[in-house]
Chain A
Amino acid sequence: MSRYEVNKIMAYVDGDPEPLEQFSADPAGFVDAWERRATETHVPSLDAGPLTDEERKAIIDLDYGALYAMGAHPYLLIHFARAVECDARGANFATWKEEYRAQVTPHGYPPFFT
């Protein structure tokens, strides 16, 4: 797996209103376009990249525990998750953060270097 590619898509979704809206409305469609763009040019870009099957599933399913366990950067993960769940989908942060905590806690502190 590539922690870099996971970090990249999380930061991109969190970074601007349009990607956040697009991803939150249709995670699978967004990820499909993300991966397709990466095949269309040899030039690296911060708005495209390849994902493994495991990474793709965790991103589309919004499986924060799985992403955390893979070594996604925790700072980017919590901001990506909060953007999607609270900013875009309207969850209450105070209660949602405890759901997030329950998902990541079993995994302790996995390494997050890229």
Chain B
Amino acid sequence: MAELVGVFGVPHNPLLWETLRPPYPDDLERAAENFDRFSGLIQDSGAETLVIVGSDHFRRFFFDNSPAIIVGKAERYPTGYPNEIRTFGIEPNEVAGDVAISEAILGTTNLPGNFDLGMSNEWLLDHAYSIPLRYLTPRHDLAVVPIHTNCNMPPVPTARRFVELGEYLRTAIEAAPVDRKVAIVTTGHLATDLGGPKQFLGGASPDAEFDAQAVEWMRTGSIADAIDGCGFERLVNAGNVTLQFMNLLTGLAAAGGRPATFAEGTASRYAAMAFFHWDTPRSGR
């Protein structure tokens, strides 16, 4: 049976691709340290596969075809869209998939009872996936199962649904009939605005109160409070892409709603970056 060996929450700001590299600028040293810490934790855990819960940015899934939640099932995933390469200098790459874990999540002939998930057999991954992979697995030597959640194109799933997704992923991974160590990586934002009046404030948060509350939910393992605090209007008021914070709720729930072993909103020239980690004692142990 597969084993869930860790759950993480990380940022995926594409501007990091060119700025978060040695020698690290003073304001990004802490982010580099956090990514290194998490990369070490993944290595120490023996994880062979990363299930990455993120939100594609209108490239693979656009308004003409927008699933609520969709799971990759492919042998390989290329990364890097032309606009990301042009604007952010992101280099294209390719990572291996893990079809057995995809099947554990999706089923093969019928979908799981409580989740009508979409499936993708061919998927060019964007920076929601390539940024975490670059810093968590610099050698790109772990297999990946990407999951896209629609946090960008309303109507979006509710916060409660993101929690249920996390609970489901833990159960499905632990029931997978393969010998595999799996970590879940969730990626999203604290208060972040893009395209609106509060974008690019030079390190000031568009909503410091939300950031502090969000980190506290993770530090204390307060799922019910987090669901209450993540209504659509509240999240958008914190910045128009803050809806992606809900991916991090999936992480909290996948870890059984336990207090994070590490929870920080890391300050830099950018909006605060979410770095969360949970240990994952096996269910029922």
- Answer whether residue B262 sits at the interface, using C-beta atoms and an 8 A cutoff: no
Residue numbers in B under 8 Å from A79 (CB-CB): 83, 87, 195
Residue numbers in A under 8 Å from B241 (CB-CB): 74-75
- Answer whether residue B158 sits at the interface, using C-beta atoms and an 8 A cutoff: no
Interface members, chain B 127-169 (any A CB < 8 Å): 152-155
- Answer whether residue A57 sits at the interface, using C-beta atoms and an 8 A cutoff: no
Bits for B22-48, please: 1 = Cβ < 8 Å to A, else 0. Answer: 000000000000000000000000000
Q: Given A16-B83, A75-B58, A83-B86: A46 and B64 within 8 A (CB)?
A: yes
Q: Are A104 and B59 closer than 8 Å at their CB atoms?
A: no
We find that the number of chain A residues with CB closer than 8 angstroms to chain B is: 32
Q: Are B86 and A108 closer than 8 Å at their CB atoms?
A: no
- Answer whether residue A92 sits at the interface, using C-beta atoms and an 8 A cutoff: no
Please report the number of residue pairs spanning A and B whose Cβ atoms sit closer than 8 angstroms: 80
Q: Are B63 and A109 closer than 8 Å at their CB atoms?
A: no
Report the stretch among B109-117, B196-204, B212-220 that lies at the interface.
B196-204
B131 to chain A, nearest CB (A): 16
Q: Are A14 and B197 closer than 8 Å at their CB atoms?
A: no
Residue numbers in A under 8 Å from B82 (CB-CB): 15-17
Cα–Cα distance between A16 and B64 once the two chains are bound (Å): 18
- Answer whether residue B49 sits at the interface, using C-beta atoms and an 8 A cutoff: no
Cα–Cα distance between A4 and B62 once the two chains are bound (Å): 10
Q: Are B195 and A73 closer than 8 Å at their CB atoms?
A: yes
Q: Are B63 and A101 closer than 8 Å at their CB atoms?
A: no
Q: Are A75 and B194 closer than 8 Å at their CB atoms?
A: yes
Cα–Cα distance between A20 and B57 once the two chains are bound (Å): 18
Q: Given A109-B236, A112-B240: A101 and B62 within 8 A (CB)?
A: no
Known pairs A46-B64, A68-B195, A114-B154; list 12 more (Cβ under 8 Å): A15-B59, A20-B86, A73-B58, A74-B193, A74-B194, A76-B58, A79-B87, A83-B83, A97-B199, A109-B237, A109-B240, A112-B154
Chain A residues near B (Cβ < 8 Å): 4, 7-8, 11, 14-17, 20, 44, 46, 68, 73-79, 82-83, 86-87, 97, 101, 104-105, 108-109, 112-114
Chain B residues near A (Cβ < 8 Å): 57-59, 62-64, 81-83, 86-87, 152-155, 193-197, 199-200, 236-237, 240-241
